[in-house]
Chains A and B, each alone.
Chain A
């Protein structure tokens, strides 16, 4: 029991003695106040997230195509057939979804890993004060500050085959013949990973930099006196003290990357190559290009379940580990 709670109880007890009724009313009012203050947030949460989500789950059980678009409540009930299509890996739809899932997992691991490593490296380097530090910090944050569309469309120009800067540069340096496709075929995967990391790593940097601000300097001084080098300081001091931050950071990076729609959509328009067939675009195409909103919703629900399971396991695992530590 905390000191504040004790004080509140004391206060209540004291109140019982003298002038009973007005005090009690005030307490009753106070009890409702937090809910009242939370109400707008809860209402918006319901409107913006919960209700559309439940609607999406509902749609996944319907045969919703162009005939019922206008009045989708009249769409016939499809039972589990949309789910059946989505998970039947022998059919072409299920196979394509599985492929897209595998691509997305690979993409997510690479992007989260690289963004974290880059962010951590830069944050450690920027921890000590030197000339030009503020300038570097600002430069590093530019990709994150730019609107997604503006940043990614420039990448699209740079990566185009005939007039792109990347091919031009590679040809000038005699690394390739300058006729490489970066936006179609297998190279598209490398392109999307690079662009996504470019876009995401400043967020890792920002979070880790903020986390490091709160680390006590005296511990490092003591460690230095004891003869710990930079690597040892990093491993034995920085990493353990940043555990809580890393836990949330990696989870957020994972969720953002796994669901990223803007970057691949801007880079490839609606024509995403098979090697970079990320799941968010895949679901979108199943719904909008094929006019099959039931199937698209079923895929989304599966995606949601997967993310919930992963997140749950991750939290269970990481919190158990930190309790042991």
Chain B
């Protein structure tokens, strides 16, 4: 008898253990009435707390104007997409949410967000108030968008002025080849100093660079019908352009392979371990939070391959940024009022200044605060040498599959293996198979 009980207990333990894998975790944040909205903000500042500190006073203003209370939750980038996915599945989401603008088309496809048709656009002040570049990253072409721009971002090359001077380098690199040469000069034997640091374990950063360098190499990760074409020779070269920094040229800090966010890489930069850093304009916040003075570093556009390979484009950033969206079925009226408030010229100036972002509306962009040379450079990149990531429903899978494949390649390179073109092709091939199984 005792044996049998033991057996039953053990078997049910096995079942329970197995079931754990099957049960998706859910979180609920709804329960909003007409006088409250829940808002999931993305991490724009130097820490989650910093975001709360910046947004707090602004949300109070909104409550004062409209009588609607805002329940704020700031979510880190590694969790945001998951949390949105879970909220979509359970139907228990917040009322308003920030999304990475590259996910627009993928998330719009879930049908979880309110569509910004004419009537909804009018409620937030009309489509014309937004900058055209920012609007280009809000969804699939020809479809009604399900999110509107909130913060504008673009990539730049941050460099340490003193380290450049010490190495006898007068100007920031003008071509990608020059960047590699400079980085070699800046790399000292013994592992004390490197040319550059990367966020090599961040799948989103990796995917962005695969796309940007893909544009330079004349590659495309999707064909016209939206089918993945990950392993073309141009895309292989694009991925190598990035991974070579740590693999072939060995100019990136080995710890790059462990950095899961740009903020991790920032530490290498501010501690003088690396002289350069590729980051979006909001990286400023992290650099200064780490105690580096504005006068000690400068920003330049990320240099482009010169001459460009056949079919290559002069692109050194994707149209980066954050969009804001409203979940269906919540307090939609309140949500629209809130989105109107957040994209108003006055709030744009305050928030973009605090987060080192670029305004997404024409009126706010005219504010003198954004006319500094550094800001002008980021605006110029965004307006002239950036391209939107593919605005197709599979985009977020492109980021996860290719971004993670690159993370593995970078880890291999950091632990001593040379990453060959064949290795890159194979991992892109695997990434494509993974993606097709889901499509």
Whether, in the assembled complex, B47 has its beta carbon less than 8 Å from a beta carbon of chain A, the answer is no
Binds B, one of A8-16, A229-237, A292-300: A292-300
Size of interface on A: residues with Cβ below 8 Å to B? 71
Residues facing B in A218-266 (CB within 8 A) are: 244, 247-248, 251-252, 255-256, 258-259, 261
Residues facing B in A137-185 (CB within 8 A) are: 160-162, 179, 181, 183-185
Contact with B along A253-282 (1 / 0, CB 8 A): 001101101000000011101100000100
Selected contact of B110 from candidates A49, A69, A185, A269, CB within 8 Å: A69
Asked whether A259 lies within 8 Å of B412 as measured between CB atoms, the reply is no
Asked whether A292 lies within 8 Å of B91 as measured between CB atoms, the reply is no
Residues on A with beta carbons closer than 8 Å to the beta carbon of B82: 288
Residues on B with beta carbons closer than 8 Å to the beta carbon of A208: none
Known A93-B433, A161-B255, A269-B260; contact A304-B10, beta-carbon cutoff 8 A = no
Binds B, one of A17-25, A105-113, A121-129, A307-315: A307-315
Whether, in the assembled complex, A207 has its beta carbon less than 8 Å from a beta carbon of chain B, the answer is no
Whether, in the assembled complex, B13 has its beta carbon less than 8 Å from a beta carbon of chain A, the answer is yes
A323 to B411, CA, bound (A): 52
Chain A's closest residue to B9 (CB) is A248
Residues on B with beta carbons closer than 8 Å to the beta carbon of A87: none
Whether, in the assembled complex, A66 has its beta carbon less than 8 Å from a beta carbon of chain B, the answer is yes
Residues facing A in B399-425 (CB within 8 A) are: 400-401, 404, 407-408, 411-412, 414-415
Asked whether A96 lies within 8 Å of B430 as measured between CB atoms, the reply is yes
Whether, in the assembled complex, A30 has its beta carbon less than 8 Å from a beta carbon of chain B, the answer is no
Asked whether B438 lies within 8 Å of A291 as measured between CB atoms, the reply is yes
Whether, in the assembled complex, B106 has its beta carbon less than 8 Å from a beta carbon of chain A, the answer is yes
Whether, in the assembled complex, B332 has its beta carbon less than 8 Å from a beta carbon of chain A, the answer is no
Asked whether A53 lies within 8 Å of B19 as measured between CB atoms, the reply is yes
Size of interface on B: residues with Cβ below 8 Å to A? 60
Residues facing A in B233-280 (CB within 8 A) are: 253-255, 257-258, 260, 273
Residues on B with beta carbons closer than 8 Å to the beta carbon of A283: 21
Residues on B with beta carbons closer than 8 Å to the beta carbon of A91: 433
Asked whether A72 lies within 8 Å of B89 as measured between CB atoms, the reply is yes
Closest chain A CB from B88 CB (angstroms): 5
Asked whether B13 lies within 8 Å of A290 as measured between CB atoms, the reply is no
Closest chain B CB from A182 CB (angstroms): 9
Contact with A along B5-32 (1 / 0, CB 8 A): 0110111011111111111100000000
Asked whether A300 lies within 8 Å of B22 as measured between CB atoms, the reply is yes
A163 to B242, CA, bound (A): 25
Known A70-B89, A269-B78; contact A184-B258, beta-carbon cutoff 8 A = yes
Whether, in the assembled complex, B169 has its beta carbon less than 8 Å from a beta carbon of chain A, the answer is no
Selected contact of B437 from candidates A85, A160, A183, A251, CB within 8 Å: A85
Q: By DSSP majority rule, is chain B's interface helix, strand, loop, or mixed?
A: helix
Closest chain A CB from B226 CB (angstroms): 13
Known A179-B191, A179-B254; contact A93-B437, beta-carbon cutoff 8 A = yes
Whether, in the assembled complex, B397 has its beta carbon less than 8 Å from a beta carbon of chain A, the answer is yes
Asked whether A65 lies within 8 Å of B11 as measured between CB atoms, the reply is no
Closest chain B CB from A166 CB (angstroms): 13
Chain A's closest residue to B410 (CB) is A184
Asked whether B257 lies within 8 Å of A304 as measured between CB atoms, the reply is no
Selected contact of A319 from candidates B3, B91, B254, B396, CB within 8 Å: B3
Contact with A along B72-92 (1 / 0, CB 8 A): 000000100010010011010
Asked whether B438 lies within 8 Å of A162 as measured between CB atoms, the reply is no
Residues on A with beta carbons closer than 8 Å to the beta carbon of B13: 251-252, 255, 311
What residues of chain B have their CB less than 8 Å away from a CB belonging to chain A?
3, 6-7, 9-11, 13-24, 78, 82, 85, 88-89, 91, 106-107, 109-112, 191, 201, 203, 253-255, 257-258, 260, 273, 393, 396-397, 400-401, 404, 407-408, 411-412, 414-415, 429-430, 433-435, 437-439
22 interchain pairs, CB-CB under 8 A: A49-B19, A67-B109, A67-B110, A70-B88, A92-B430, A162-B253, A162-B273, A179-B254, A181-B411, A181-B414, A184-B258, A185-B414, A187-B415, A255-B13, A255-B14, A271-B203, A285-B404, A286-B434, A287-B24, A311-B10, A311-B14, A319-B7
What residues of chain A have their CB less than 8 Å away from a CB belonging to chain B?
49-50, 52-53, 55-57, 65-67, 69-72, 85, 91-93, 96, 160-162, 179, 181, 183-187, 244, 247-248, 251-252, 255-256, 258-259, 261, 269-271, 273-274, 280, 283, 285-293, 295, 297, 300-301, 303-304, 307-308, 310-312, 314-315, 319, 322-323
User: Closest 7 interchain pairs by CB?
Assistant: A56-B22, A185-B415, A304-B18, A292-B438, A311-B14, A289-B400, A184-B411
Known: A66-B106, A248-B10. 18 other contacts (CB 8 A): A52-B19, A52-B22, A52-B23, A66-B85, A66-B107, A67-B393, A92-B434, A162-B253, A184-B411, A185-B412, A255-B13, A255-B14, A261-B20, A274-B408, A288-B82, A291-B106, A291-B438, A303-B21
